[in-house]
Chain A
Amino acid sequence: MPVLKFPEGRLESLTGLSRRELEDVLFRLKCEVDYLDDGYVEVEVNPDRPDMYVGEGIARAVGGLLGRRRGWSLPRIVDSGLVLYNEGPPTRPYIAAAVVYNVNVTEDYIEELVQFQEKLHDTIGRRRRKAAIGLHDLSKLPSGKLYYKLASYEDEMIPLGHPGERTPLKRALEETSQGRKYGSLSATDNGHPALYSGSDIIAIPPVINSEITRVEPGTRDLFIDVTGTDKATVEKVLDIITTTLAEREGAYLGKVKVIRESVEEATPKLSAKTVFLGKDEPSRILGLPLDSFTISDGLSRMLHNVDVSAGGFRVEAPPFRVDILSSIDLVEDIAIAIGYESIGENKPVVDRQGRLQALTLLARKVRDLAIGLGYTETMQLTLTSPRLLDLTGFTSRVEVENPVQQEYSVLRPSLIPSLLSTLSRNLHARKPVKVFEVGNVVVPGTPPPDEVRLGLAIMDEEVGYEDIQASVYSILRLLNVEFSVEPYKHKVFVEGRAARIISRGTLLGVMGEVNPEVLLALGIDYPVAAAELNLEVIAEWRSKTESP
């Protein structure tokens, strides 16, 4: 979830609201506000509203919700006179550009602009892969003729933040932190996409800009480029930035002519999506009778332009909204405008019987029996450490491809390692220590299936096979399960003191005395006996043998 930081007072002065009012209005606009101790305010904005990643965007939405402004209109737009020739580099073929005049960048505003840019990169820009933004000081452009094409790795630029010597692109990509992070996104064998102003490289999208067009306090007008792999996204990102920055006092836009294969386009597109909303659709979906006035009022406060037409509403969503895919998204806007707390509710009527899974019911009974036998319930994660499974001899298991931590990099194929791990941390607990878990295991398969099992373990001064066997027999007999037992060999158990439990030809579980080698490897210096039963098999058995 994108979290934005503003100096305290910035949003209050943009909206004219008190802290309390601001918190409340923003909550209704999907945002959460957190006043920090360091004089900053954090605003968490939902990822579907990139138009609110900057103060002007937040103030615009707030103004609408409060009814201070309604609908939208295009900002003043002039021809910038800039021409951009796009050769369509194959790895990143699209570019759109615009000028925003009178942005008047200050010390504080630079931070906010960079934050706006970065949050757009991280969300809609898919971490710069799909779309990336370059901000430049218009007055510093060496030439009004711009070229977007592949540059060779020997071509030179002055990377932003590395003033001084001109650097070959190859070095800029290898030696700057941005280069290491984003250098591989659009690189080709024989060059990297670059934006030229005249003969100077002013950016190598999506990696880094050039020092020569640096935006700094005092920069009045911005030249903005957006490059990417998806034309619609590139244009939409430019729409969001330009329309939002145009909210600044005195700001207006300048068009840039983009020529690709002799096809001319002017950007920003400032394209609006028109959606038809049925007259009864909001009432039907929300469950609240709404009249036409309420609907148009709500939509216009969410800054849509609304035309009441036959049977419904022709709605023109503002160019900065990316989340309006269909009429359902307008219904949500109406609900937001009304206020979720004002929509009311239908109290649920329970007119039918709920039901739990047979396995849930069985697990409950089994837990009661285990507790009756003196076992205390424990719960562990299914993600566990490969070392634990190696030490206990559970080598057949499902491994996580991209674990975050080694201790959580395999899925346990048995509850016994979890129980032994628990016992190893309870050597000083009052004996006997009897523990059980009813929990999931995951075994190899295509895809690997999970099972619910019961694991039991006893640790005491002295403990033997018959101690665990007695518990297992007691549980199985009380559950009416027919079973037989045969000798079993596994690294975790002592040979000759372990058994497999079979029910109607299916493996139901295992039990035995834990091998002293395993105990000592885990640091356990008391004898332990353990068992595991597959509750899926028991549930299956009971579903077959019990009359409904």
Chain B
Amino acid sequence: MPKEEYPLSRGEYNLVKKLADAGVEKGYVEEVSKKHGIEEAQLHSLLLLLQEKGLVKVRREEESIYVTTSKGLQALREGLPEEKLVRLLEKSGGSLVVGKVKEELGPEAGIAIGQARRKGYINIEKGRVILARDPQEILREISELKKALQLASEGGLREAPKELVERGLVTREIIRRTWFEFTTPPREILDNAIVEVARLSHKLLVSGEWRRVRLKKYDVRAEPPEIYPARKHFLGEFIEMLKDIMKELGFVEVRGPIVDIELFNFDILFQAQDHPAREIHDTLRVKEPKRVPLDEYSSLVERVARVHEKGWGYKWNPEIAARVLLRSQTTAVSARVLARRPEPPIRFFTLGRVYRSDVVDSTHLPEFHQLDGIMGWPGYTFRDLIGILREVAGRLGLELRLKPGYFPFTEPSVEGYVRLPNGKWLELFGAGLFRPEVLEAVGVDYPVGAWGFGVERLAAAFYGVNDIRDLYTRDVEKLRRLPVKIF
């Protein structure tokens, strides 16, 4: 027959050993705890664990006992009132006038005389208290009573002398205790114990003790603690994905200033100087500076003036072009790139923040990201432009539908609608071939297609975000817990 093994945790093992060493096999938890210096709650819980393993029986007990009251404790310390009286009388030669007794015993005198008289210790004659019996005998009798009181004060008494109860020296109390009893002798348990450990440690490995212990079996289905990793922001990830798509399509990333001038944001783009979009309530401006000199752009300015005056039939005003604004479109960056007259073929893109005079609500932000791409070479056509729109939409997994559109700086112009996962069509791309007036202004002599879109609206659709403000949430817990989207 195989030897029985007792798997124990380190704590259980230590407890059994301690009890075995002390020779304890049974007892009340409360008493053992006190006597052997083991923390009661810990002892209790370890015994319950040992009970689960069938090594110990634990029983809760409820008992009614008598315990000493504060009055009783005082009597123990100072003596019972009648005891004091008997000692006083003994010392005074067996009798004393009542007045003297009252003087000596104070407020207790009444009780002392009452009790002593009832028990026949004294007689009262003509105003004197007189011992009625041998004081030593009386004191022995009293000490019996005090012994019971003493016991009640130490651990309680199951039965108490009626007198102690009646005099309020003891009182009844319900106490709960835990009785335990080893069903297998502690020594035998220790001899056959296998210690289980919860966590393997460096110490166990180094000491070689790991060989003598057993790794406890876990409930592998139990929930672990909840943790979340530090992570990238989903809108940031979306932006990087867009940049990667552009790079894969052979586009070179460019960058332009956020605070720009109207020359690049509007004038080069053939937006008439009295166009409503250029008015103060549509474009955000900065307090300082209001304008910057256009000196470094002199030849560009000359061409822009010529193009505007011919196309719109007004006197073009360089003061308006020099106004500083928060760019309203990343096409301003494309305009800057074209103004450097790059050698064809060209494929450039930029992705950055643009600003609008919009009140914040669930579909508007005063600031959002725009992606703007331009491409061109001699012989570049509208079909090439449609091709890139379809390619980008395709790489985003979106179906594309084309609608003629209007932008001041492109002709033909096209708007690209994409079908979202929810089946709705979203107006995404704005695109077109730059107007000849734009190309003339920048001095580029090959056709250039331009297209762009707002990033946030698409990101919101991708992530199923209904309120665009949630893209800029400040709730870190929400960011930590956002499900991963793979694209």
Contact B250 A340 (CB under 8 A): no
Given A30-B403, A354-B250: A400 in contact with B286 (beta carbons within 8 A): yes
Q: Is the CB of B250 within 8 A of A350?
A: yes
A426 touches B477 (CB 8 A): yes
In the bound complex, what is the Cα–Cα distance between A379 and B470 (angstroms)?
Answer: 11
Contact A328 B475, beta carbon cutoff 8 Å: no
Which residue from chain A places its CB closest to the CB of B351 in the assembled complex?
A360
1/0 contact string of B242-256 vs chain A (CB within 8 Å): 010011111111110
With A341-B402, A404-B358, A405-B366 as contacts: A123 and B276 at CB distance below 8 Å: yes
Given A326-B436, A360-B253, the answer on whether A402 and B281 have CB atoms closer than 8 Å is yes
Checking A127, A354, A374, A400 against B285 with a beta-carbon cut-off of 8 angstroms, the contacting residue is A400
User: Are B285 and A401 touching (Cβ within 8 A)?
Assistant: yes
Task: Report the nearest B residue to A364, measured CB to CB.
Answer: B240
Q: Which chain B residues (260-319) contact chain A, with CB distance < 8 Å?
A: 260-261, 274, 276, 280-281, 284-290, 292, 311, 313-314
Main secondary structure of the interface of A (DSSP, over half): loop
A284 interface residue per 8 A CB criterion: yes
Q: What is the distance, in angstroms, from B454's C-beta to the closest C-beta of chain A?
A: 14
Q: Taking A344-B383, A376-B479, A447-B324 as contacts, is the C-beta distance between A398 and B286 under 8 angstroms?
A: yes
Question: Of residues 229 to 249 in B, which have CB atoms within 8 Å of A's CB atoms?
Answer: 229-233, 235-236, 240, 243, 246-249
A377/B477 contact (C-beta < 8 A), A446-B289, A450-B257 known? no
Given A341-B401, A377-B232, A405-B366, residue A426 in contact with residue B258 (CB < 8 A): no
CA distance A113 to B116 in the complex (A): 121
Q: A residues within 8 A CB of B249?
A: 348, 350, 354
- Which residues of B from 425 to 475 have beta carbons under 8 Å from A? 427, 433, 435-437, 447, 471-472, 474-475
Q: A346-B381, A348-B387, A433-B476 are in contact. Are A402 and B285 (CB under 8 A)?
A: yes
Q: Is A336's CB within 8 Å of the partner chain B?
A: yes
Q: Is the CB of A46 within 8 A of B405?
A: yes
Nearest B residue to A379, CB-CB = B233
- The segment out of A145-153, A170-178, A380-388, A500-508 that lies at the interface is A380-388
With a cutoff of 8 Å between Cβ atoms, the chain B residues found around residue A46 in the complex are: 404-406
Q: Is B157 in the interface zone, CB < 8 Å from A?
A: no
Q: Is there contact, CB below 8 Å, between A429 and B280?
A: no
- Asked if B484 is at the interface (CB within 8 A of a chain A CB), the reply is no
Please give the distance in Å from B232's CB to the nearest CB on chain A. 5
Complex partner residue of B366 from A372, A374, A381, CB under 8 angstroms:
A381
List B contacts of A374 (CB < 8 A): 230
Give complex CA distance A429, B477 in Å: 6
Is A478 on the interface with B (CB-CB < 8 A)?
A: no
With a cutoff of 8 Å between Cβ atoms, the chain A residues found around residue B254 in the complex are 357
The reply on B109 being an interface residue by CB < 8 A is: no
A-B pairs with CB below 8 Å: how many?
Answer: 244
Closest to B436 in A: A328
Chain B residues in 8 Å Cβ range of A435: 476
A-facing residues in B376-420 (Cβ within 8 Å):
381-384, 386-388, 390-391, 401-406, 411-414
**Across the interface, which residues of A come within 8 angstroms of B75, CB to CB?**
none
Size class of the B contact interface (CB-based, 8 Å)? 35 or more
* Given contact pairs A352-B347, A382-B258, A450-B258, A285 touches B381 in the complex (Cβ within 8 A): yes
**Which residue in chain B gives the minimum CB-CB distance to A126?**
B274
Contacts of B326 in A (CB 8 A): 400, 411
Q: Does A291 contact B (CB under 8 A)?
A: no
- Are B391 and A347 in contact (CB-based, < 8 A)? yes
Contact of A434 with B391 at beta-carbon distance under 8 Å, contacts A348-B249, A440-B258 already known: no
B259 interface residue (CB < 8 Å to A) = yes
B243 lies within 8 A of A360 (CB): yes
CA distance A122 to B275 in the complex (A): 11
Known contacts A379-B233, A405-B360; is-contact A442 B387 (Cβ 8 Å): no
Q: Are A377 and B276 in contact (CB under 8 A)?
A: no
Could you tell me if A375 and B230 are in contact, using CB atoms closer than 8 angstroms? yes
Tell me the B336-389 residues at the A interface (CB within 8 Å). Answer: 345, 347, 352-353, 355, 357-360, 365-367, 381-384, 386-388
In the complex, which residues of chain B have a beta carbon less than 8 angstroms from the beta carbon of A356?
A: 243, 247, 253
Interface residues as binary, A114-144 with B (CB distance below 8 Å gives 1, 0 otherwise): 0000000011001100100000000000000
Q: Does A494 contact B (CB under 8 A)?
A: no
From B314, B367, B405, B476, give the contact of A381 (CB < 8 A): B367
B254, B281, B290, B475, most chain A CB atoms within 10 A: B475
Nearest CB on A from B414, distance (A): 6
Give Cα distance in the complex from A364 to B232, angstroms: 10
| B364 → chain A closest CB, angstroms | 10
Which one, A284, A404, A447, contacts B381 given CB within 8 A? Answer: A284
Q: Which residue of B lies closest to A452 (CB)?
A: B255
Q: How far is the CA of A419 from the CA of B348 in the complex (A)?
A: 33
Contacts of B427 in A (CB 8 A): 32
A476 within 8 A of B: no
Q: How far is the CA of A403 from the CA of B326 in the complex (A)?
A: 11
* A444 located at the interface, meaning its Cβ lies under 8 Å from any Cβ of chain B in the complex: yes
Instruction: State whether the Cβ of A353 lies closer than 8 Å to any Cβ in chain B.
Output: yes
- Whether the Cβ atoms of A449 and B403 lie closer than 8 Å is no
| B258 x A27 contact (CB < 8 A) | no
B34 at the interface (CB under 8 A from A): no
Q: Are A130 and B274 in touch, CB under 8 angstroms?
A: yes
With A127-B276, A405-B360 already in contact, the answer to whether A332 and B412 are too (CB < 8 A) is yes
Closest to B366 in A: A408
Identity of the chain B residue whose Cβ is nearest the Cβ of A381 in the assembled complex: B367
**A430 adjacent to chain B (CB < 8 Å):** yes
Chain B residues contacting A102 (CB-CB under 8 Å) are none
Docked-complex contact A340 and B414, CB < 8 angstroms = yes
Residue with the greatest number of chain A CB neighbours at <10 A, chosen from B347, B360, B390, B404? B404
Q: Which residue of A lies closest to B384 (CB)?
A: A346
Q: Does B480 contact A (CB under 8 A)?
A: yes
Q: Which residues of A contact B435 (CB under 8 A)?
A: 328
CA distance A345 to B381 in the complex (A): 9
Task: Add 11 more A-B contacts to A348-B250, A350-B250 (CB < 8 A).
Answer: A29-B404, A123-B276, A285-B382, A346-B384, A354-B246, A376-B231, A380-B474, A382-B367, A400-B326, A402-B285, A448-B286
The residues of B with any CB-CB pair to A shorter than 8 Å are 228-233, 235-236, 240, 243, 246-255, 257-261, 274, 276, 280-281, 284-290, 292, 311, 313-314, 324, 326, 345, 347, 352-353, 355, 357-360, 365-367, 381-384, 386-388, 390-391, 401-406, 411-414, 427, 433, 435-437, 447, 471-472, 474-477, 479-480
| CB-CB nearest 9 A-B residue pairs | A287-B381, A287-B383, A354-B247, A332-B412, A46-B406, A377-B233, A340-B402, A345-B387, A345-B386
Task: Spell out A's residues near B (CB within 8 Å).
Answer: 27-30, 32, 46-49, 122-123, 126-127, 130, 230, 232, 284-288, 323, 325-326, 328-329, 331-332, 335-336, 340-341, 343-348, 350-357, 359-360, 364, 367, 370-383, 398-405, 408, 411, 421-422, 425-426, 429-430, 433-435, 438, 440, 442, 444, 446-450
- Residue pairs across A and B with Cβ atoms less than 8 A apart, 30 shown, are A32-B403, A46-B406, A122-B276, A285-B433, A288-B383, A326-B436, A328-B412, A329-B411, A331-B411, A335-B412, A340-B404, A341-B402, A343-B386, A348-B391, A350-B248, A355-B247, A356-B243, A371-B229, A374-B230, A375-B230, A378-B233, A379-B235, A426-B476, A426-B477, A438-B236, A440-B353, A442-B259, A447-B286, A448-B259, A449-B259
